[in-house]
Amino acid sequence: MSVWTNLRDRIVRMLLGYGVSKAADSQNTGWVETREEIKKTAVNTAVEIARDKVLRK
């Protein structure tokens, strides 16, 4: 799964307001992410993408 797909899926779940639900357990790991964890991961992923783009220049 690409970083963009993962980020998009997390943002969509956050916007749809799943919060704590099985829908947030995209890889069937058995644990469920809260809305705050989804937001934090989305922001961290976006920061990593931006950092990679800056470092490549």
DSSP label of 23? G
Tell me the pTM.
0.40
Q: How far is CA 54 from CA 23, 31, 41, 42, 51, in A?
A: 33, 34, 20, 18, 5
Number of domains in the chain: 1
13 vs 52: which has the higher pLDDT: 52
Residue-range definition of the domain harbouring residue 30: 3-56
pLDDT digits (tens, 9 = 90+) for 4-46: 778 877 777 776 665 555 555 556 565 556 677 777 888 888 8
* pLDDT of amino acid 37: 76
* pLDDT of amino acid 4: 77
* pLDDT of amino acid 1: 57
